[in-house]
Structure 1
Amino acid sequence: MGQYKSRPKHSCAEEWKKKISESYSVLRSRLSEDLRVKEGVELTDIQAACSRGDLEKIKELVSQDEDLLEKETENGPPPPPPNGLTLLPLSVIPAGERGHVEWLLSQGVEPGQMSKNGFSALHLATYRGDIDLMKLLLDHKADISLSGFGGVHPIHIACMCGNEEVVDLLLEQGASVNAQDVVKFSPLHLACYFGHEKIAETLIRHGADINSPGEVGDRPLHLACAKGHLKHVQLLVDGKEENKADVNVRDNEEHTPLHFCCRHGHLPVLNYLLQPDRGVEPHISNIYGDTPLHLACYGGKVEAVKKLVEHTGRDSLSKENIFSETPLHSACTNGRSLELVKFLLGQEDVSVNHQGQDGHTALHSACYHGHIRLVQFLLDNNADMNLVARQQEPSVEGEEKDQQNQTCLMWAYERGHDAIVTLLKHHKRPQDESACGDYSQGGSDGSYVSVPSPLGKLRSLTKEKIDVLHLRSTLPQKFHLQIGDIEFQETIGSGSFGKVYKGKCKGTTVAVKRYRANAFCAKSDVDMFCREVSILCKLNSDYVIKFVGACLEDPSQFAIVTEYVSGGSLFSLLHEQKSYQDRDPRVIDLQSKITVALDVAKGMEYLHNLKQPIIHRDLNSHNILLHESGHSVVADFGESRFLKSQDDENMTKQPGNLRWMAPEVFTQCTKYSIKADVFSYSLVLWELLAGELPFAHLKPAAAAADMAYRNTRPPIAITFPKQITYLLQIGWHPTPEERPEFKQIVKKLQECKESVESATAAISGTTVTFSSGAPIPATSAENGTVPTPGHVNALRKQWESAGAGIGKPQGLTMEDIRKVLPTFPSPNKNGYVSDPLSTLRLNPNISYTSSHPPPLPPATTEPS
């Protein structure tokens, strides 16, 4: 069962069907909107005349201005005007005489013009059922297969509306009987979904494909069974042999028509399908392991369950799905039908105390979902509250998963069902002589269980509530948002907290960090959320992500809204969007790299020099975001915290990503400072220059261990500028106190940037040699010009062949390269490499004291 304590209330297929229903409701509303002119919509004179059907006025306006129709017709269908209203769809609005439409068509107005909602005049006439207008449009070559909003053809609209005469006309005029809309529904899908029997017969007679699959593999028979349309089911199943529906056909989740029929409890259809000559497989399972009996129980369909058991026997009663639930568990998950549970318990071999593979019983399910009447019923029927379920807890890397044994009382307690907790604590079986106190173990028969001490959880919950209440009171009102203020769009990231979405908030494009929608968030989630909001609302720097606001009202709707940084993360740019040619990775031009590095350093300098300094604790390439301009910002403050003093010993152990973690943090030290961020920054700087992950050949934990216990560091290429090489060496110094502050790093990077810009400006089609002695190609492979920092999209194309271990730099021999660049053998079973040359180890002959390497010199002094 993993992290699930119950089957999700709705499967993907059920959610899909719900969205389909909503989509066709939207389709109808958009069609209706196009057939009326809203108040307040400003129309041109000719548009207003068309909407009234005033032919004389139309002719008068056209005679006054010959360009009126030319604007509509030249070079094919015109682009929509500013108000989105075109002439021909507007002319469909008035009912009655259609002389104005015929005149417009005779003047060359394109019949395929689309309305503001994406429909042609033929779509609108079909929706209205105006046969005469449809014939007029078709006589003037209106495209009968033109797709409108949602990919619908006119025949889809006719089948949705159930207009037989219109369907006949369209089919006679050559409409495709198997046309598909955007979700791959054919006209027959819609006829079955909306229950239009005569239309379904017409479509089948014209050769409609009965077994045509929709977007998720759903056939017309699936839809007819889900909606309970018996006549359609009979029509599909009893057809001719060459065009007959398969009664056991599966959709993408392996649901058969019988699954849908049972889930919705359509008894007439169920009786029909279960007839012996139909060949239906009654015990067939979907990908979740659900039989039709499971779905009938999840839906609480008593009569359907009785019919299934009567016709199929008891084989499905003991089957478990992937959530370790039998039909009895499923009925208790639904919990709204005591009659159903009574019926199942009355079947032979069904035990009230049956435990699924994960150990949970029907009583666990009822407690988890808060069905108190059902809990009382199960207890009265000898359900054992002492039986335990086993839930696996997520493992830390390299450690085995722990199992927690949980009673049904703990499940109710976790979900906050206080009345059920009280009932379980005080429940006395009829055969017991006396009741027990709240916290006593009870008699020898084990009827009572110890209630876990609530004090620990209460303290935790109280602290969380205090944190949230304090945040609500202290957060400036301008940052308070409602979840309804946000329009969620596509997912752009994810993590243990939940997902990050691109979205809109009050007309602005934003990024939304949405915490998992649990009724009770994990303590760490609440903690992280409150801390991140309290930090973000106090930040104001061009080099740090901009805070827009947060949703604080309900833990299930916690969300943090920030500016949307369109260039994505530095990690994505370096490692996920690389261009490969002959298997050689490419790197970004040096100026752009230094720009990014300088921006990050300025952001960290800002954080470390606040009145109350902030330590990031999770600085890595994932949390550096790039603007399209090529500049960067520091983001993701979920692991950050205010630093009360440099002697603070209450720091969390091992926060952040292991691959970029400072040695003092990895070694479980609880006293570390802002210098841990400097170490992480140095690894990011190396990663930016090299275009590779630090210790890419090692697992993250092994990489952190190598740096902490064996003093290894990533190899420094001879192509790195000398100033940056020095920054790396001192920045990842094993002693935190010897590392520089970001103020010094910013000065040194500014010097480096100026020298690179000067060198770039001084050359034209030659090779530049930096102070490191490493030659850098001066020209771009594409146009012979020097690459300059620019938009992120441009950066992805401006690759150089110079980099750590990339190609052969000009002027170097292979012997030079071999001296500097290591080889990378495979790691051993523990994730380590045995070759001592595989990483750059700090020189063991050098004592890293306060005098070596020397402190970072002033910005005007070159490092020796």
Structure 2
Amino acid sequence: MGNYKSRPQSTCSQELLRKILENYALLEEKLQEDLHMEDIDDLTEGRRVLCNGTSDHLINLNSDAFGEKLDSGLSLMNLCCLSTLGVKIDEVKEKKEEDEALSRAPCFIQLVKPSRDKNNRKEENQNTTKENKSELEKCKHQIKVQTNKEIRDQIRLLLQKGADPSIISRNGFSPLHLASYKGEVELVRLFLEKCNHLDHAGAGSVTALHISCLAGHLEVTQALAQRGANIEARDAVSFSPLHIACLFGNESVVEYLLSRGVDVNIAGSVGDRPLHLAATRGYYKIVQLLLKKGARVQLQDDEGNTALHCCVRNGHFSILSLLLQPQYRTDAHITNVYLDTPLHVACYHGWIECAKALLTYGGSSLLLKENLWGETALHAACTGGQCIDLVDYVLSQDAASVNYQSPDGHTPLHSACYHGHTRIVQLLLSHGADINLTAHDRCCNSEKKEEQTPLVWAYDRGHDDIANFLKHFRRPGLYEDYARGDYLSGLDTSYFPIPSPIGKLRTMIQEKIDVLYLRSVLPPHLHLSLSEIESLENIGSGSFGKIYKGKYNDKIVAVKRYRGNMSYGKSDVEMFCREVSVLGSLDSPYIVRFVGACLHDPSQFAIVTEFVPGGSLFSTLHEQKRSIDTITRFNIAIDVAKGMHYLHTLPQPIIHRDLNSHNILLNNECRARVADFGESRFVRNIFEENMTKQPGNLRWMAPEVFTQCTRYSIKADVFSFGLCLWELLASELPFAHLKPAAAAADMAYKHSRPPLELAFPVEVSVLLEKAWHKVPEERPDFSQAMSQHCEPDGNRKPVEARLHSNPHIQQLKS
């Protein structure tokens, strides 16, 4: 049994194939280098004659000249293959340009008859263009035939003078190799007349047939095979021409080689068959051809991989479906040297359709097979972390167990924690994964086993968001612990201070990147310095730092100073950068106005906004206990709803994630501004970031955010708004008799909600019930809330009348 933590990220066969592809790419570069001459002016006259495609002076060359080579090892025969037809193509190009110019110029008839019908004129121009094109194509064809004839004459002359078509250049290629790569079948046939060694090997031990198969030239392949080239010749990695044609997807070449009777199951240096290569690369038609000729699906390479392993590694579902057809008698339980079944491979790489097909074909017993590292298919899906839907699908199978422990004790939750797959950790927990099950690493010189929970694995790898999440995780049924204020897990987690060493290093690097990016994108007029701001008085503080009142450009501002510290795995720098990026994109009278930010000195990071003199709604209601009339309360709710509607309907929508009465600021006229965007996210990043953390204040938190059992949306803001609206009308904290965590637990697990007083207008009560609905999708958006229950300014009189006519309304004025 292997050590899970030493499991390689890729297999030997994957690495070998990558190297083979790199070598073939290098081989093509060398071929192109031999076929490209930078400057022919430095060549001798005879050499220039060959490169220019004429043969008038070749007869006069002495016999010694026919054997000369360039410094690159290219012979005169190689130079024949360099003929680029440059002069004559240029002539054709010039003629084409002249014809196009003539077709665009107005003719004499057009000038003397300006009243001619436009449609007739257009048709005439089209006919002229067609004639020009046909003349051009005819000219091109004549020049090509003439040039090829000259090249053939050159080669015949060189061959008569004793030139060797198999002589190798410094890059390792003969004239026959170069002509095969270019696809010049006539030149190839000429070389074959005088070449005694058709299978002479060049760089990488490739023959001309290998090269023509690589380039996909069917006619050249046919010419070589018909003259007796070895169709099963091997190159440096023991690949035959059929291997290469399958590797590069040259279907017609594959079909021809198979028609010549080549061994369809011929093995490469590590037992890889053409079927392995075609299945790996996803060439469906080639796989069909190979199977039709008797390719065996069950054959394994030296690593034990079958064609099934190869196709599912890259998610080629159509090929998998073909290989699973009954006539091929495929064994879906076959394993490679790592004891991976094809299902393991599909799960590691996140191919859900392939996994479904394999389970349907092979049965649920596939889910119980362990590989060399003790991992089942569920472990593999959690290790790979490529597809959360695949993990969910495997968990839905009866044979799968979310708490299955491998021989070393690690569970799927351990695997997901080790690799930092936060969303999969959250999914596993929602399915009942036990965070207290332990794995063990056997010490090198001792029989002692160190027991390790998933939290330990996450911490050791520096996945602080997961470690912090597990420290505070509780099973949903244990909500009583929240009521006692104890919502840590049963383990002693004090041994795992966040951030971990690796996590801290990773965070520091990311912070520097974030700050540099923010400096580059923030407009210059928003770059401020604390030296430009006069400090007046301290007006608040929090875990992030302090807020004080200041003066900037003769205007009163609020300055939010950040501390450069780390707290519970959440970096203040990260929050600072996010809040600046969000505030810098906002412009609404219902959102606190952004003045600028101090970015250049980390010790002086600060956000400067407009100063809102009335303080927070929380302070107004619960500390100052100011008397607010009902209509003013109604206006505050409308302002908040408008501000949230603005955030949610931006071209790049924003989810606030921390809407509560602390973050609703009031001006002197008691009009509201939404503030504090340290927890906010652009909705576009919901699927890129970890959206399962518990951001913000627990008392106003939506159940789906608190339980962390699903990914939440902008509807979490609607729930928080509902609680703020209730608080505004009732002048009480929601669940004031409970601690914040207990209040959140009651709402999440008992579906408790604050009581709806008789004093509340019917419209408001209906809105509240919808806003804090337990199903997020059933909650209204803010546009619906405003249109259905909170009429705009122009239509408020009827609402005000209903409010004043309510017999219990006076209860709300205290």
Residue 425 (1) aligns with residue 468 (2): no
**Residues 217, 250 of structure 1: 8 Å contact kept:** yes
Amino acid at match of 2:353: E
* Alpha-carbon distance in structure 1 between the residues aligned to 2:501 and 2:174: 62
Q: Deviations over 1:666-686 (max 9, x none)?
A: xxxxxxxxxxxxxxxxxxxxx
Equivalent residues in 2 for 1:341-352, closer than 5 Å: 341-352=391-402
**Residues 112, 121 of structure 1: 8 Å contact kept:** yes
Residue aligned with 2:372, SS: coil
Amino acid at match of 1:21: L
Structure 1 residues 45 and 230, CA gap change in structure 2 (3 angstroms): same
Two-structure CA RMSD over aligned residues (Å): 2.9
Residue 103 (1) aligns with residue 146 (2): no
**Residues 462, 501 of structure 2: 8 Å contact kept:** no
* Alpha-carbon distance in structure 2 between the residues aligned to 1:389 and 1:137: 68
Match of 1:158 among 212, 225, 233: 212
Residue of structure 1 equivalent to 2:376 = 326
**Residues 388, 407 of structure 1: 8 Å contact kept:** yes
Residue of structure 1 equivalent to 2:35 = 35
Residue aligned with 2:495, SS: coil
* Alpha-carbon distance in structure 2 between the residues aligned to 1:238 and 1:459: 54
Question: Shift of residue 44 of structure 1?
Answer: 4.8
**Residues 389, 407 of structure 1: 8 Å contact kept:** yes
Amino acid at match of 1:248: Q
Residue aligned with 1:5, SS: helix
Structure 1 residues 15 and 458, CA gap change in structure 2 (3 angstroms): closer
Residue of structure 2 equivalent to 1:403 = 449
Structure 1 residues 386 and 105, CA gap change in structure 2 (3 angstroms): same
Residue of structure 2 equivalent to 1:717 = none
* Alpha-carbon distance in structure 1 between the residues aligned to 2:498 and 2:359: 47
**Residues 92, 101 of structure 1: 8 Å contact kept:** no
Question: Shift of residue 293 of structure 1?
Answer: 0.4
**Residues 2, 372 of structure 2: 8 Å contact kept:** no
Match of 2:65 among 43, 58, 68: 68
* Alpha-carbon distance in structure 2 between the residues aligned to 1:7 and 1:356: 14
**Residues 395, 402 of structure 2: 8 Å contact kept:** yes
Residue aligned with 1:55, SS: coil
TM-score (normalised: structure 2): 0.51
**Residues 122, 142 of structure 1: 8 Å contact kept:** no
TM-score (normalised: structure 1): 0.48
Residue aligned with 2:451, SS: strand
Match of 1:452 among 495, 502, 510: 495
Residue aligned with 1:123, SS: helix
Amino acid at match of 2:426: Q
* Alpha-carbon distance in structure 2 between the residues aligned to 1:253 and 1:387: 33
Structure 1 residues 136 and 358, CA gap change in structure 2 (3 angstroms): same
Match of 1:93 among 61, 77, 82: 82
Amino acid at match of 2:55: L
Residue of structure 2 equivalent to 1:127 = 181
Question: Shift of residue 306 of structure 1?
Answer: 0.5
* Alpha-carbon distance in structure 2 between the residues aligned to 1:369 and 1:455: 18
Q: Deviations over 1:590-618 (max 9, x none)?
A: xxxxxxxxxxxxxxxxxxxxxxxxxxxxx
Residue 356 (1) aligns with residue 406 (2): yes
Residue of structure 1 equivalent to 2:389 = 339
Structure 1 residues 18 and 81, CA gap change in structure 2 (3 angstroms): same
**Residues 472, 487 of structure 2: 8 Å contact kept:** no
Structure 1 residues 366 and 48, CA gap change in structure 2 (3 angstroms): farther
Structure 1 residues 43 and 9, CA gap change in structure 2 (3 angstroms): farther
* Alpha-carbon distance in structure 2 between the residues aligned to 1:42 and 1:214: 44
Residue of structure 2 equivalent to 1:618 = none
Residue 256 (1) aligns with residue 306 (2): yes
Count of matched residue pairs: 440
Residue of structure 2 equivalent to 1:369 = 419
**Residues 6, 333 of structure 1: 8 Å contact kept:** no
Residue of structure 2 equivalent to 1:597 = none
Question: Shift of residue 428 of structure 1?
Answer: 3.4
Question: Shift of residue 101 of structure 1?
Answer: 2.5
Question: Shift of residue 108 of structure 1?
Answer: 1.3
Q: Deviations over 1:259-300 (max 9, x none)?
A: 112222222221222222321111011110100100111111
Structure 1 residues 130 and 435, CA gap change in structure 2 (3 angstroms): farther
Structure 1 residues 84 and 41, CA gap change in structure 2 (3 angstroms): farther
**Residues 72, 169 of structure 2: 8 Å contact kept:** no
* Alpha-carbon distance in structure 2 between the residues aligned to 1:459 and 1:146: 56
* Alpha-carbon distance in structure 2 between the residues aligned to 1:271 and 1:368: 33
Match of 1:412 among 458, 474, 477: 458
* Alpha-carbon distance in structure 2 between the residues aligned to 1:452 and 1:46: 82
Q: Deviations over 1:765-823 (max 9, x none)?
A: xxxxxxxxxxxxxxxxxxxxxxxxxxxxxxxxxxxxxxxxxxxxxxxxxxxxxxxxxxx
Question: Shift of residue 163 of structure 1?
Answer: 1.9
**Residues 474, 488 of structure 2: 8 Å contact kept:** no
* Alpha-carbon distance in structure 2 between the residues aligned to 1:182 and 1:206: 23
**Residues 6, 365 of structure 1: 8 Å contact kept:** no
Q: Deviations over 1:410-456 (max 9, x none)?
A: 2112221222222222223322326789x98946xx4x552534499
Residue of structure 2 equivalent to 1:196 = 250
* Alpha-carbon distance in structure 2 between the residues aligned to 1:134 and 1:327: 53
Q: Deviations over 1:809-862 (max 9, x none)?
A: xxxxxxxxxxxxxxxxxxxxxxxxxxxxxxxxxxxxxxxxxxxxxxxxxxxxxx
Residue aligned with 1:382, SS: coil
**Residues 111, 121 of structure 1: 8 Å contact kept:** yes
Residue aligned with 2:166, SS: coil
* Alpha-carbon distance in structure 2 between the residues aligned to 1:408 and 1:90: 67
* Alpha-carbon distance in structure 1 between the residues aligned to 2:32 and 2:296: 37
* Alpha-carbon distance in structure 1 between the residues aligned to 2:421 and 2:500: 23
* Alpha-carbon distance in structure 1 between the residues aligned to 2:162 and 2:299: 49
**Residues 226, 260 of structure 1: 8 Å contact kept:** yes
Residue of structure 2 equivalent to 1:118 = 172
Structure 1 residues 422 and 57, CA gap change in structure 2 (3 angstroms): farther
**Residues 441, 449 of structure 1: 8 Å contact kept:** no
* Alpha-carbon distance in structure 1 between the residues aligned to 2:482 and 2:73: 74
* Alpha-carbon distance in structure 2 between the residues aligned to 1:335 and 1:442: 27
Q: Deviations over 1:235-272 (max 9, x none)?
A: 22233xxxx22221111011111111222222222122
Query: Identical aligned pairs, as a percentage?
Result: 42
Q: Deviations over 1:47-99 (max 9, x none)?
A: 44433334345555x35xx64335x4xxxxxxx65443332212211143313
* Alpha-carbon distance in structure 1 between the residues aligned to 2:175 and 2:503: 63
Question: Shift of residue 392 of structure 1?
Answer: 2.1
Structure 1 residues 453 and 234, CA gap change in structure 2 (3 angstroms): closer
Amino acid at match of 2:156: E
**Residues 4, 323 of structure 1: 8 Å contact kept:** yes
Residue of structure 2 equivalent to 1:289 = 339
* Alpha-carbon distance in structure 1 between the residues aligned to 2:250 and 2:332: 28
Residue of structure 1 equivalent to 2:100 = none
Question: Shift of residue 3 of structure 1?
Answer: 4.2
Amino acid at match of 2:372: I
Question: Shift of residue 349 of structure 1?
Answer: 2.3
* Alpha-carbon distance in structure 1 between the residues aligned to 2:204 and 2:502: 52
Residue 185 (1) aligns with residue 239 (2): yes
Structure 1 residues 352 and 212, CA gap change in structure 2 (3 angstroms): same
Specify the structure having the higher radius of gyration (Cα).
Answer: 2
Structure 1 residues 351 and 144, CA gap change in structure 2 (3 angstroms): same
Question: Shift of residue 193 of structure 1?
Answer: 2.0
Structure 1 residues 94 and 351, CA gap change in structure 2 (3 angstroms): same
Equivalent residues in 2 for 1:371-386, closer than 5 Å: 371-386=421-436
Structure number having the greater helix percentage:
2
Residue aligned with 2:8, SS: coil
Q: Which deviates further from its counterpart, 315-324 or 100-109?
A: 100-109
Structure 1 residues 133 and 435, CA gap change in structure 2 (3 angstroms): farther
Q: Deviations over 1:607-643 (max 9, x none)?
A: xxxxxxxxxxxxxxxxxxxxxxxxxxxxxxxxxxxxx
Equivalent residues in 2 for 1:50-69, closer than 5 Å: 50-59=50-59, 62-63=61-62, 67-69=64-66
* Alpha-carbon distance in structure 2 between the residues aligned to 1:180 and 1:273: 27
Q: Which deviates further from its counterpart, 386-395 or 348-357?
A: 386-395
Q: Which deviates further from its counterpart, 262-271 or 342-351?
A: 262-271
Unmatched tracts of structure 1, length 5 or more: 73-79, 466-864
* Alpha-carbon distance in structure 1 between the residues aligned to 2:382 and 2:503: 31
